[in-house]
């Protein structure tokens, strides 16, 4: 049961609410108690003032040995209230007069209790303890909540007497009990109601999560186009659903890319395999062939298998790059030397087409990178430039430091790439003119060269761009960080 977020939320909510209410109840209880005591004490003091004023007034009218007793009795009679007891003690501590001396005392206390609390011993002990500890107000034990005692010495006829007023705390006790009862009834009901409300609220708030998880449970590889319902775009769950949908978008695109990649790859592989099989079948169809014919067939087989090897290698490189598993082996070398070396390597290809090949890499460009991969990138670009430039054209390679990065550009005087196709040339298996490129090339381009070249530049935290392409030729430029800090595994 505790596995349910709804139940957990409700329990937390109810627990916190109960705690708050209990703390609030205790605080209310103590604050109320304090203020009641304060009010009662000030009332006791006022009562004592009134009592003594009446006593003085009565004493003026009285004379004789019992004048104080008579005056005090009169004052008690005038200030007699329910729950209050009076006693006047002489300097020796003996009770001169008390509420007991009146025919009917307050009904709050039983006769035995009245005798106990208005007894000389009890009262003189109270007076003594108040004079010792300077506590004019004291709480006294007794039946039904006990008493609040107030001690006030006063002088009459040159003698110091003591007035003691006792207030029964029974009404306060009753009030506190009622308050505690109310709290003990109201708090559980409030917590119960809040829990039920909280549960329904949690259920309602989490309903979109339930809907999302049900929908997410249905989404598989075949239904990757389906999306989670977004009920409120602006709340947290809406954000969650949107993020999840964006994740599905990315997965869907990635799946789609993989599917296309597989389809294109098998399509590209099918042609050389078909040529190989066809050529082999033709060679074997007649037993009596001239050795030249066999040599011709074998030459075709070799060319096609070379092309096949090339495509398979490129596919393997891209597959590993996609999986982030292509290990880079960076080391120190000079980029200008590498560029010069690559230009030298392709010189024969250029010569065969009477293409002028220029290399401007005079500046020393130290580099820390994967040399084999960068060589592959430069050769891909040079191969393309020579491949797509007509006989008698020219290809120029320049390499220099430009604003903190190395700029390597390869410009040719080829026919250029149609403007509408330029954004797509870095796509895998894309060939601007399939018929021409297949017919013209001798190594067999599958449209992967530029994708690989771009990936190599990016794996070195650089970029590869088509800077210019029109009827007068094309220029590709690779920009690489001068202090190339590459990780050992290239992640796409
Ligand atoms: P391919 O193996 O076909 O050369 P690439 O990925 O290297 O594949 O190039 C993709 C396409 O971009 C080529 O088919 C070609 O149409 C175009 N392209 C690349 N480089 C050049 C260039 N220097 N001049 C003209 N077109 C080019």
Q: Say yes or no: 337 and 467 in one domain.
A: yes
**315 with 337, same domain?**
no
Does 336 reside within a domain?
yes
What pLDDT, on a 0 to 100 scale, did the predictor assign at position 70?
A: 81
Which residue range forms the structural domain that includes residue 390? Answer: 331-488
**Whose CA is closest to atom 8 on ligand 1?**
447
Which residue spans within 144-208 are E strands per DSSP?
147-156, 159-168
Q: Are residues 36 and 87 in the same domain?
A: yes
Centre of ligand 1 from the C-alpha of residue 387, in Å = 8
Q: Which of 377, 382, 384, 430 to mutate to test the pocket of ligand 1 (most atoms within 8 A of CB)?
A: 384
Does the CB atom of residue 326 touch ligand 1 within 6 A?
A: no
155 phi and psi angles, rounded to 5 deg: -110, 135
Nearest CA to ligand 1 atom 13: 431
Same domain, 14 and 97: yes
Q: Please report the DSSP string for 82-100 in residue order.
A: TTEEEEEE-TTS-EEEEGG
Sign of CA dihedral 257, 258, 259, 264: positive
Distance set, CA 332 to CA 273, 372, 373 (Å): 41, 12, 13
Number of domains in the chain: 3
Q: Residue 257's domain is classified under what CATH number?
A: 1.10.287.130
Can you give the CATH number for the domain in which 428 is found? 3.30.565.10
CA 232 – ligand 1 centroid, Å: 48
How far apart are the CA of 447 and the centre of ligand 1, in A? 7
Ligand 1 centre from 191 Cα, in Å? 74
Q: Domain for residue 286, yes or no?
A: yes
- 341 plus 387 within the same structural domain: yes
Same domain, 21 and 158: yes
Closest CA to 417 of 431, 397, 435: 431
In a domain, residue 95? The reply is: yes
User: In the 8-state DSSP scheme, what is residue 146?
Assistant: -
Determine if ligand 1 sits within 6 Å of the CB of residue 422.
Answer: no
Q: Could you say which of 257, 292, 322 is where a domain stops? A: 322
**36 plus 59 within the same structural domain:** yes
Q: Establish if 249 belongs to a structural domain.
A: yes
Is the same domain home to 118 and 151?
yes
Could you tell me if the CB of 449 is within 6 A of ligand 1? Answer: yes
Burial label, 195 (beta-carbon count in 10 A; 0-12, 13-18, 19+): middle
CA dihedral sign of residues 341, 342, 343, 349? positive
The confidence score (pLDDT) of residue 31 equals: 93
Query: From ligand 1's centre to the CA of 425, what distance in Å?
Result: 7
Residue nearest to atom 2 of ligand 1 (CA): 445
Q: pTM of the full predicted structure?
A: 0.59
Q: What angle separates helix 291-322 from helix 449-459, to the nearest 10 degrees? A: 40
State if residue 370 touches ligand 1 by the CB under 6 angstroms criterion: no
Residues 244 and 132 in one domain: no
In a domain, 222, yes or no: no
Atom of ligand 1 nearest to the CA of 450: 6
Residue 405 domain flag: yes
- Average pLDDT along the chain, 492 residues, taken 10 residues at a time: 81 92 93 90 89 84 74 83 84 80 64 73 77 74 81 82 86 89 93 92 87 88 86 86 92 87 86 90 86 90 90 88 85 95 95 95 91 96 95 96 93 95 91 57 71 94 96 96 62 49
Whole-number Å distance, alpha carbon 488 to ligand 1 midpoint, is: 29
Q: Which of 322, 355, 389 is the last residue of a domain?
A: 322
Do residue 19 and residue 75 come from a single domain?
yes
Tell whether 230 is covered by a domain: no
Ligand 1: centre distance to CA 448 (Å): 9
Q: What spatial distance separates the first Cα and last Cα of the chain, rounded to whole Å?
A: 45
Does residue 184 belong to any structural domain of this protein? no
Domain end among 158, 175, 192:
175
- Same domain membership, residue 53 and residue 90: yes
Tokens of 434: 């399939």
Closest ligand 1 atom to residue 410 Cα is 23
Look at residue 99 in the predicted model and tell me its pLDDT.
79
CATH no. for residue 167? 3.30.450.20
Binding site membership of 130 for ligand 1 (Cβ less than 6 Å): no
The CB of 393 under 6 Å from ligand 1? The reply is no
353 and 311 both lie in a single domain = no
């Amino acid at each position: 049961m505790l596995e349910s977020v709804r139940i957990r939320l409700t329990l937390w909510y109810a627990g916190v609410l109960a705690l708050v209410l209990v703390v609030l109840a205790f605080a209310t209880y103590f604050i109320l108690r304090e203020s009641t005591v304060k009010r009662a004490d000030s009332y006791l003091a006022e009562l004592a003032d009134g009592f003594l004023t009446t006593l003085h007034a009565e004493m003026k009218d009285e004379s004789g040995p019992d004048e104080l007793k008579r005056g005090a009795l009169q004052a008690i009679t005038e200030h007699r209230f329910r729950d209050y007891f009076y006693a006047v003690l002489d300097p020796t501590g003996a009770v001169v007069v008390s509420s007991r001396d009146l025919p009917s005392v307050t009904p709050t206390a039983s006769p035995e209790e009245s005798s106990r609390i208005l007894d000389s011993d009890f009262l003189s002990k109270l007076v003594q303890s108040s004079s010792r500890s300077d506590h004019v107000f004291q709480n006294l034990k007794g039946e039904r909540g006990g008493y609040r005692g107030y001690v006030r010495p006063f002088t009459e006829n040159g003698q110091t007497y003591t007035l003691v007023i006792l207030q029964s705390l029974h009404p306060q006790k009753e009030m506190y009990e009622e308050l505690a009862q109310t709290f003990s009834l109201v708090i559980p009901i409030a917590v119960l109601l809040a829990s039920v409300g909280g549960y329904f609220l949690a259920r309602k708030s989490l309903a979109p999560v339930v809907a999302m998880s049900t929908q997410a449970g249905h989404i598989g590889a075949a239904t990757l186009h389906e999306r989670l319902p977004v009920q409120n775009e602006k709340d947290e769950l809406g954000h969650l659903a949107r993020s999840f949908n964006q994740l599905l978008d990315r997965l869907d695109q990635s799946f789609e890319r993989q599917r296309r990649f597989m389809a294109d790859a098998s399509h590209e592989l099918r042609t050389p395999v078909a040529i190989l099989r066809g050529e082999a079948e033709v060679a074997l169809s007649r037993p009596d062939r001239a050795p030249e014919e066999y040599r011709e067939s074998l030459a075709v087989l070799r060319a096609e298998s070379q092309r096949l090897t090339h495509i398979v290698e490129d596919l393997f490189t891209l597959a590993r790059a996609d999986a982030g598993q292509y290990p880079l082996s960076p080391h120190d070398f000079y980029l200008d030397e590498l560029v010069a070396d690559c230009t030298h390597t392709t010189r024969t290809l250029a010569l065969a087409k009477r293409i002028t090949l220029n290399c401007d890499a005079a500046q020393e460009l130290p580099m820390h990178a994967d040399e084999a991969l960068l060589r592959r990138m430069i050769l891909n670009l040079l191969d393309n430039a020579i491949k797509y430039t007509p006989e008698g054209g020219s290809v120029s390679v320049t390499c220099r430091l430009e604003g903190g990065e190395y700029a390597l550009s390869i410009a040719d005087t080829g026919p250029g790439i149609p403007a509408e196709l330029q954004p797509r040339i870095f796509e895998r298996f894309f060939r601007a003119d399939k018929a021409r490129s297949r017919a013209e090339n001798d190594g067999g381009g599958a449209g992967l060269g530029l994708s690989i070249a771009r990936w190599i530049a990016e794996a070195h935290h650089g970029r590869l761009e088509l800077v210019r392409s029109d009827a007068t030729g094309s220029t590709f430029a690779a920009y690489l960080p001068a202090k190339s800090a590459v990780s050992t595994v290239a992640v796409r």
